């Protein structure tokens, strides 16, 4: 995953330092990384980090870099505790065919939607899903459900305010929360 990150997005630290940092993240919260494999090889991944809203806002404004997040800044998934999730990365290895890229991407996105719904089944209250991108593929993908918000940086920022959202998979997430008895009373 570090190599995919390096190729697609660049690294702020050496690959070894990046791997070491990400291992501390996984020790703090093992539910951050999701992969798509083909024939046993990782061909894509997504990185989902629950963070305090202030930290996310600092990342979106360019005041902080997501890659430099410290393990202690990562939140745990606790039922009934409202939280914010930063979708830090999602990507497919370069050099695959257009068809493979679409197929792997669809598996990755479908899997991420299932992860969000499953968090609802566990009673995890997600107030916002936030992401940013400066790549054409990332921007195109985020425009399919996220609302674009202003940015002072080169990257474009996107958000889903879960309480207000009518996106089908978010509705499924809310239904899962409702069934678990954790849907906040002011949510639809």
CA distance 105 to 98: 10
Q: Would residue 188 count as lying in a domain?
A: no
- Assign 16 to helix, strand or coil: helix
- Residue 14, domain member (yes or no): yes
**Is position 185 within any domain?**
no
Q: What is the pLDDT of residue 6?
A: 65
Whether residue 76 lies inside any domain: the answer is yes
Could you tell me if residue 186 is inside a domain?
Answer: no
Q: Supply the range of the domain harboring residue 57.
A: 2-180
- Residue pLDDT, tens place only, 119-164: 999 999 999 999 999 888 889 889 988 999 999 998 999 999 999 9
pTM of the model: 0.90
18 domain residue, yes or no: yes
Burial of 140 (0-12, 13-18, 19+ CB in 10 A): exposed
Contact assessment for residue 123 and residue 80, using Cβ atoms and an 8 Å cutoff: yes
Q: Token pair of 70, please?
A: 């410290």
Size of the chain in residues: 188
| 87: DSSP letter | E
Number of H-type helices and E-type strands within the chain = 6, 6
Residue 74 located in a structural domain: yes
pLDDT one-digit tens code per residue, 2-16: 777 766 666 677 878
Residues in Cβ contact with 121 at an 8 Å cutoff, skipping those fewer than 6 apart: 176, 179, 180
How many whole angstroms separate alpha carbon 160 and alpha carbon 157?
Answer: 11
pLDDT of residue 7: 64
Beta bridge partners of 83: 126
Q: How many domains does the chain have?
A: 1
Residue 187 falls inside a structural domain: no
**Domain of 97: which CATH number?**
3.40.630.30
* Cβ–Cβ under 8 Å, residues 122 and 174: no
- Over pLDDT 90: what percentage of the chain? 63
Percent of the chain with pLDDT over 70: 96
């Amino acid at each position: 995953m570090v190599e995919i990150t390096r190729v697609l997005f660049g690294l702020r630290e050496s690959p070894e330092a990046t791997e070491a940092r990400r291992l501390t993240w996984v020790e703090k919260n093992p539910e951050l990384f999701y992969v798509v494999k083909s024939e046993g090889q990782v061909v894509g991944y997504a990185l989902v980090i629950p963070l305090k809203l202030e930290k996310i806002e600092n990342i979106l404004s360019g005041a902080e870099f997501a890659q430099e997040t410290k393990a202690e800044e990562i939140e745990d998934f606790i039922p009934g505790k409202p939280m914010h999730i930063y979708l830090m990365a999602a990507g497919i290895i370069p050099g695959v065919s257009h068809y493979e890229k679409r197929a792997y991407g669809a598996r990755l996105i479908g899997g991420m939607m299932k992860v969000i719904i499953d968090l609802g089944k566990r009673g995890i209250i997600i107030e916002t899903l936030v992401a940013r991108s400066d790549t054409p593929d990332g921007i195109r993908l985020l425009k399919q459900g996220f609302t674009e918000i202003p940015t002072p940086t080169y990257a474009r920022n996107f958000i889903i305010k879960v309480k207000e959202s009518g996106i089908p998979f978010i509705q499924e997430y809310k239904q899962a929360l409702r069934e678990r008895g954790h849907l906040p009373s002011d949510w639809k």
